[in-house]
Structure 1
Amino acid sequence: MNTGLKITAFAAALAATFGTAYGVGKGVGPVVADEREVASPHGEHGGGGGHGGKGERGAAATAPGGLQISERGYALDLETPRIKAGERSEVRFSVRDGSGRKVTAYQREHGKELHFIVASRDLIAYRHLHPVRAADGTWSVPVELPKAGGYRAFADFRPAGKGAEGVTLGADLAVSGEYAPAALPPVEATAEVDGYEVTLAGGLRPGVARELRLTVAKGGKPVTDLQPYLGAYGHLVALRSGDLAYLHVHPNDGGPGPEVSFTATAPSSGAYRLFLDFRHEGKVRTAAFTVSVGGHAH
């Protein structure tokens, strides 16, 4: 990952499949927008911009991605529309072009041809997955989701071809089992995960590019040797509460910690869930935050 951006919002609480730990915000006071507006962000874009689409420059927010199953001549075909809670299952899907053919040619973005993210509708469960593509264009990935309910699956990719823009498509995934919805976690400025403390500074404003600064510590000491994950020292995703509008952010230039900086634009006021993936001592961990944009959290 270079200096591109996006963001997604989901939540935490699962100790994980694929070696990823999940943290829930816990601790100090609310996260609100400060005055550090960014006039020239390092490549922010809405979900419709994919991992490297047009719109990576400039402060205006584009329409968020993931709200549509079909966009710009591509459609997400989720061949596994339902799985069982608590069971390891294989999810299969494909991306089809305007003629109905499965897409087999992609541009690699941040080390991958396609990023696949699954989040529960109540924003408590989150998975950032990297599926494998068969020669015929069918993608597959094993996943175990901890709780029943409605989920949203996002395919974030850029098709092959000069000038092709990034696309983020979304489809509903049902997870069967006994369902108990959970409330959105409260707004907090610190998240704890697997012995790490991650502090969020800065905030979001609708239609305005703002800087988000996340500082990683362990045992009260700053972590200064973060390891690259997907080509950068941090990876930020966020979802808007309610419709799960997808944004996806990548960091500004910086060193291996303790601070990782991002620039992002919220498409509207409301509550968002932010997920920071960071790698240290060979393991990827995820710290999650709820933030309020425009004073409306629920």
Structure 2
Amino acid sequence: MTPLRTIGSFSAALAVVFGAAYGIGAAVGPGSAAAGPSGHGHARSEAAESVDPTPAGLQVSQGGYTLDLETRSLTADRPGILRLTVRDAHGQPVTAYATEHTKRLHLIVASRELTAYRHLHPTLAAEGTWSTPVDLPAAGSYRVFADFRPAGAEEGLTLGADLTVTGRYTATAPPALSATTSVDGYTVTLDGGLKAGAESDLTFTVERGGRPVTALQPYLGAYGHLVALRAGDLAYLHVHPHDEATAGRTSGPDVSFAATTPGAGTYRLFLDFEAAGTVHTAAFTVRTPH
């Protein structure tokens, strides 16, 4: 942990981060090759992945679409509104989206240290602007991921852009490696690990008070939703559940996924699951073998 620094000092550091992010975003613009691996649960063909192996979420423009993040700055620990527009190759707002995992767009906001995480579902205005309330806990650099599939498109996309959260900044290290975590009175254990550049199976077991939770409720079309981000560049992994949820039925204590990593590294896993009518998020830090 380093001493507190003012946001002025932090802003200077951000200039380096944003410069790198701009270079990545500019490398592939609208009208470029087919999209790379998408985020949660979007079907991907091997042919598409061979055309553009760039991990999801690293680019602001891809496949003819651009993420226009209209909100560039928020204040730490204060309610704010996050606004964005997805634009097509002609710069026009996209207004028609396919439904993926019960939503037309999934919005993920994560701090660079991967200690803060939000999974949001914004509202779409008629003119094509998405907006959602958000309250972020600490100052720093954040990454915003828009995971969506335009209506009529065969493939989904995950586009990313940087967000500054102002306030007094304290640098923090990523959480330690662990296969077990606790959240809101629940204990979640991870069985399985990630493989560098390959698909692997991950199973999460949910317990409460030492007893298996067998009444997990459907959430976003499954009994759990998983987002995985790579430390450093914040590459967004391709993850999908093994079992789809059935309306009105419960399941548990196990929730399983298949995750495909873009390469070796340390990853932060965020598991959303619903129990007793409330969504909880369990976070893990894992590392692939080199």
- Indicate the TM-score class for this superposition, using the shorter chain for normalisation: 0.7 to 0.9
1:282 maps onto 2:277 in alignment: yes
Q: Distance in 1 between matches of 2:119 and 2:127?
A: 23
1:260 corresponds, among 240, 255, 260, to 255
1:63 maps onto 2:54 in alignment: yes
| TM-score where L is the length of structure 2 | 0.82
Q: Distance in 2 between matches of 1:116 and 1:49?
A: 11
Identity of aligned residues (%): 60
* TM-superposed deviation, 1:267: 1.1
* TM-superposed deviation, 1:169: 0.3
* TM-superposed deviation, 1:59: 11
Distance 1:50 1:189, change over 3 A: closer
* TM-superposed deviation, 1:206: 1.3
When the two structures are aligned, how many residues end up with a matched partner?
250
Q: Distance in 1 between matches of 2:123 and 2:46?
A: 27
Cα offsets for 1:82-121 (capped at 9, x unmatched): 0100110001110000000000011010111100000000
1:186 maps onto 2:176 in alignment: yes
Counterpart AA for 1:202: G
Aligned to 1:212: 202
Q: Secondary structure at 1:66's aligned position in 2?
A: coil
Aligned to 2:102: 111
Cα offsets for 1:41-63 (capped at 9, x unmatched): xxxx9743664243389999953
Which aligned pairs between 1:1-298 and structure 2 lie closer than 5 A?
47-48=37-38, 51-55=41-45, 62-161=53-152, 163-253=153-243, 256-294=251-289
Q: Secondary structure at 1:250's aligned position in 2?
A: strand
179-188 or 46-55, which deviates more: 46-55
| Structure 2: tracts of 5 or more residues without a match | 1-34, 245-249
Q: Distance in 2 between matches of 1:59 and 1:79?
A: 30
Aligned to 1:28: none
Q: Distance in 2 between matches of 1:166 and 1:157?
A: 6
Q: Secondary structure at 2:181's aligned position in 1?
A: strand
Distance 1:149 1:169, change over 3 A: same
| TM-score where L is the length of structure 1 | 0.80
Alpha carbon RMSD of aligned pairs, Å? Answer: 2.2
Q: Distance in 1 between matches of 2:45 and 2:164?
A: 32
Q: Distance in 2 between matches of 1:210 and 1:252?
A: 12
Q: Distance in 2 between matches of 1:225 and 1:83?
A: 38
Greater fraction of residues in helix = 2
| Structure 1: tracts of 5 or more residues without a match | 1-44
* TM-superposed deviation, 1:249: 1.9
163-172 or 251-260, which deviates more: 251-260
Contact in 1 for aligned 2:185/2:208 (Cα 8 Å): yes
Cα offsets for 1:17-65 (capped at 9, x unmatched): xxxxxxxxxxxxxxxxxxxxxxxxxxxx974366424338999995321
* Runs of 4+ deviating beyond 2 Å: 45-63
Q: Secondary structure at 2:42's aligned position in 1?
A: coil
